[in-house]
Amino acid sequence: MERFKKLGIGEQLMKVITEMKFEVPSEIQEKAIPSVLSGKDVIGKAATGSGKTLAFGAGIIQNTKKGEGIQALVLTPTRELAEQVAQALRRFSKHYNLRIQEVYGGVSINGQIDGLRNAEVVVGTPGRILDHLERRTLNLQKVKVLVLDEADRMVDMGFLPDVEKIINMCPKERQNLLFSATISSDIEYIKKKYMKNPQYILVESYIDASKLKQIYYDVPSHMKFSLLAFLLKNETVKKVMIFCNTRTNADIISDNLVRFGLRAVAIHGGLTQNKRNMIISKFHSGEINILVCTDVAARGLDINDVSHIYNYDIPKTSNEYIHRIGRTARAGKEGEAISLVTNRDYDSFRKVLQDESLKIEPWELPRMEQIALYLPQRGRGGGNRRFGERDDSRGRRDFGRRGGGSRGSQWGRGSRGRR
Ligand code: AMP
């Protein structure tokens, strides 16, 4: 507790930190909070799970005054992250009586308009914030702190022009706090154009490499689902996230896992916000233990205790891979990241392996039976409607059917494998 106090955290916030049983500050909190509290601009290289919300939240909460208008604005790439950050700030500010309003699309705008009238802190996604600005239901003239949370994601998702419009509507005199898992040229651009002499804080080791086992299987594509099902049935898995590259694949995989008797649900941008919230709370409570997701839906979710990450589809870059595996082996717990690589994934996987810091070991395929993978029927009137209705046409049409593929070692790293 002393270590929190030393950072300049006030009594009321200390009470909450004690209630939440945080014992020591995380690295980003320790390094960022003093600068944040003193009003300096900060760029924090830190990912989900690093404790960055309290790092910027401490500043927002301690420097915001009740009843004096919207003084802090937090921009997030996704609705889930907005919801999660707003909830965390509400919890942290319990004894400060501040009004925190979340603002994101996919839900009715009227409740947000009411909430914005007497809010002091706004957390939201760029699109809906612009919408409110255009309707003049949001006024940013009193903003003293602007937070760009998961700034790299916002850029990746094409929000930079919207973010810039919003920044330009804030007062020039303000504190800027930017958090990002990766620092790209776009982040440098934001820094140069909008920030004042920011302090860089790098939290490199957000994955505990000693606790994280990273492996891959080179699997013929017709056996890929069979391998996934085999591993899920035979390994002691607690909470699992399975990543797919498209909504369609996420639906197909989760439906097939359910058919196979597993407690899986798909979560992706094609579901309503309420549905997504419901799924996340079921995952938290343990009612379901397998979340099949797309990267967009998974971004910024506050999900701890993930024991296994499966890359059913291989991410296209090592950054994306790092974001995915960053959800396991947290807070001293063990974790496993398993990539299922077929011949179609070789190009992407080669890109992932370009990051030499990633120690991904090849493993031998276990002996397993082939399981039929049910696919959506294409066209009208045919068979399995449940799938066909949600086909977003970006999925692979021949998923899991064709191929068999070459299985040589493609990456110049020796195959050790499990005996
Ligand atoms: P964040 O990266 O801010 O989303 O935080 C990730 C998770 O870590 C959240 O569930 C926080 O409640 C939790 N957390 C934040 N700071 C600490 C801390 N100092 N000690 C333990 N847990 C923390």
Question: Could you give phi then psi for residue 366, rounded to 5 degrees?
Answer: -75, 165
In a structure prediction context, what are the per-residue pLDDT tens digits for the chain, which is 419 residues long?
889 999 999 999 999 999 998 888 988 999 999 999 999 999 999 877 788 999 999 999 999 999 999 999 999 999 888 999 999 999 999 999 999 999 999 889 999 999 999 999 999 999 999 999 999 999 999 999 999 999 998 998 899 999 999 999 999 999 999 999 888 899 999 999 999 999 999 885 545 666 788 999 999 999 999 999 999 998 777 889 999 999 999 999 999 999 999 999 999 888 887 888 889 889 988 899 999 999 877 765 667 668 899 999 999 887 788 778 877 766 556 789 999 999 999 999 998 888 776 789 999 999 999 988 888 765 444 444 333 223 223 333 222 223 333 333 444 444 444 43
Q: Compute the distance from residue 191 Cα to the ligand 1 centre, in Å.
A: 26
- Residue ranges per structural domain of the chain: 2-202, 209-395
> Residues 373-403: pLDDT tens digits?
888 765 444 444 333 223 223 333 222 223 3
Per-residue confidence (pLDDT) for residue 299, from 0 to 100: 67
Length of the chain: 419
Distance CA 380, CA 77 (A): 36
Q: Compute the distance from residue 354 Cα to the ligand 1 centre, in Å.
A: 31
Q: Given this chain, do its domains 2-202 and 209-395 carry the same CATH topology? A: yes
Closest CA to 345 of 321, 327, 369: 321
pTM tops 0.75 = no
Per-residue confidence (pLDDT) for residue 300, from 0 to 100: 55
43 and 151 in contact (C-beta within 8 Å)? no
Per-residue confidence (pLDDT) for residue 317, from 0 to 100: 82
Angle between helices 11-19 and 79-92 (to 10 degrees): 110
Q: Residue with the nearest Cα to atom 21 of ligand 1?
A: 22
The full 3-state SS of 13-56, as one line of letters, equals: HHHHHHHCCCCCCCHHHHHHHHHHHCCCCEEEECCCCCCHHHHH
Whether the CA torsion 217, 316, 336, 301 is positive or negative: it is negative
Protein fold of 2-202 = Rossmann fold (3.40.50)
76 lines ligand 1 (CB under 6 A): no
Per-residue confidence (pLDDT) for residue 82, from 0 to 100: 94
Q: Residue with the nearest Cα to atom 11 of ligand 1?
A: 51
326 lines ligand 1 (CB under 6 A): no
Report the greatest alpha carbon distance in the chain. Answer: 67
- Report the residue among 5, 20, 208 best suited for mutation to probe ligand 1: largest number of ligand atoms under 8 A from its CB: 20
Q: What is the dihedral of CA 42, 43, 47, 49, to 10 degrees?
A: -10
Closest CA to 86 of 115, 44, 117, 43: 115
Per-residue confidence (pLDDT) for residue 235, from 0 to 100: 79
409 and 266 in contact (C-beta within 8 Å)? no
Two tokens, residue 342:
């077929």
For tokens 């994934």, the residue is: 345
Two tokens, residue 354:
């370009």
35 lines ligand 1 (CB under 6 A): no
Q: What is the dihedral of CA 338, 340, 345, 348, to 10 degrees?
A: 0
Q: Compute the distance from residue 50 Cα to the ligand 1 centre, in Å.
A: 7
Ligand 1 atom with the smallest distance to the CA of 48 is 2
Question: Could you give phi then psi for residue 313, rounded to 5 degrees?
Answer: -105, 140
Question: Could you give phi then psi for residue 267, rounded to 5 degrees?
Answer: -130, 125
CATH 3.40.50.300 for domain 209-395: yes
What residues have CB less than 8 Å from 169, skipping those under 6 apart? 133, 140
Closest CA to 328 of 98, 138, 48, 124: 48
